[in-house]
Every structure is written in C-alpha cells, then in structure tokens.
Amino acid sequence: MGGVLLRACAKVNYALEVRGLRGDGYHEISSVLQSVSLADELEIERSRGGFELFFEPEGVEIGPLEENTVYKAWALLWEVSGHELPTRIRLHKKIPAGAGLGGGSADAAAVLVGMNELFGLGLDAEKLRTIGARIGADVPFCLSGGTALAQGVGEILTPLPAPPAHRLLIAKPERGADTGGIYRAYDERRTEGKASAPPVVAALRSGSLTELAGALGNDLEPVTAGLVPEVAAHKREMLRAGALGAAMTGTGTAVYGIFEDGAAEASLRAPFLGVYEPVGAGVMML
C-alpha cells in the first residue's frame, strides 16, 4: 500500500461541565461530544526516510513541529511499534485553529488510523485510544467519533444515540483561545458551572431536537466570552436568526447554532462561517 487518504472530522460540545482540578493539573470533565462534517483531509504516504509534513493552504498556523499533534502521533507510533516509519503527510486544513473544534485532535486521530493501516501495525481500537490519550484529551473521542459522553479528562467514553437530523451553523471570530489559559481563568473565577450533561444525554435518548437545543451548555463559555466579546455576539445573532439553541464549543472561540434540517440561514458575518451536519464517525477512510 503506497498511501491512504482520510477525513478528520471536527467536533462540537453539546455540553461541557468542569468538575474540578486534579492533582496532576488536568481537569475532570463531563461532556457530550458530537462529530460534525467539517473536516481536514490528510494524505499519508510511505517516504524514503524520516518524517515530512506539508500543510495546505500556505500560511496556515502550525507552530513548532515538535508540538504539532500530527508529529506527536507519528512519533508515538514509531515508539510503540519499535520500527522506523518513514512517512510523508500532506494536511489540508479546513478546521480553524483556536476554535474548540478539536482540529488538532482530529488530525492526530487520522494519523493513528492511517499509519496503522498503511504500515500494517495491527493495533486494535483500544490500543489506538491509549496512544491517543497521550497526545490530547479529545483524541480518543476523535478516533471513534459519533456521539458520546466523555468523562474523566475526556478519555472515558460512553456511546450515546445520534441526535435527530439538524444543521449546525458554526462561526469563529478572528481571535482564538488558548486551552490552558481558559482553564486557568476558569479556576480563578471559582464559580459553580451548570449541570448541562445530564439534560443533554436525556434529550438524545428521547430523540427530541427541541430538548437537545434547549439543554446546551458550556461552563467555559462565560470565561472565553469575557475575553472575546464576539463569542456572545455570535451566539445572540444565531438565536435572533432562529436557532433552536446556541453555545460555544470547547474552550472556544467558535460558536454553533442548532437549526432545523435545511433551515440554517443567518445574516451573521464572521471570519469563519459554515453550515455542517452531525456525522457518525471521527475518521473516515476515502
């Protein structure tokens, strides 16, 4: 096999509760995650040696290579397999960075799946999730995708029923959010969050889109909105445009609105704006 082509799907948080700070510096959470059709595309090929990573479009923000999740996934697979894995990866970025949409985690998940296939490593789903958890808290979810309740630091996953059909209008302001900084700011506020996960889970099990939209919640939203006022402004505009419900995803700064199937229309203006759908997988082989 010379190469594989994959789609790495973004995610939104229908619910995000911060349960507390652990001794190791990570936060306990309870979150309901949903894969969406917004996706990066990765082409993974064998190379003559080492690791090569090319980004499209030109000028996309990638930061230091050693901190990139794609590189981390490749390095961990090399470590776990005990074999050199000469790899060339072309990554076409469509998921904006600093958005809370899980783009970096999705890309890492796609590399784990793609390289496992390309090099015939024979790693099962549980092993891939274990490796993924070493890269980031959302990677285990991005490997399986669909709809799930995430607990612990995000690695304990319970599959949930898929939501009723709907469209998600996603908007991201120019400014992004730093995950660590948002959590630190949340800790300094010392305020109790909203119990959003149980009503979202109940709505998914009942199959009611209205209940799901009304139950959306994110404990980190007030913190990020305080730093980036466009978060609250985009949410207000979506609700005015007829969204059944709206919320920020992850640590932000992207905001999504839930619309009836085919009804996601709004006059909202944002640097990143698009209409997407829930999907049942996190990584798709093309």
* Mean per-residue pLDDT over the chain, rounded: 93
pLDDT at 264: 65
The pair of three-digit structure tokens given for residue 97, joined into one six-digit string: 């960075």
What residues are labeled active site? Answer: 11, 138
Beta bridge partners of 42: 6, 91
- Residue 195 CA to residue 283 CA, distance in Å, equals 30
Q: Which CATH architecture has domain 3-160+281-285?
A: 2-Layer Sandwich (3.30)
Taking 70 as the threshold, does the pLDDT of residue 122 lie above it?
yes
pLDDT in tens, 193-227: 778 999 999 999 999 999 999 999 999 999 999 99
pLDDT in tens, 227-267: 999 999 999 999 999 999 999 999 999 999 999 976 666 67
CATH topology of domain 166-276: Alpha-Beta Plaits (3.30.70)
Taking 80 as the threshold, does the pLDDT of residue 62 lie above it?
no
Q: How far is CA 78 from CA 72, 81, 112, 138, 146, in A?
A: 10, 5, 11, 21, 28
Cβ 72 vs Cβ 50: under 8 Å? no
- Residue 96 CA to residue 98 CA, distance in Å, equals 7
pLDDT at 3: 95
In the chain, where the domains are located: 3-160+281-285, 166-276
Cβ 200 vs Cβ 32: under 8 Å? yes
pTM: 0.94
Terminal Cα distance for the chain, rounded: 14
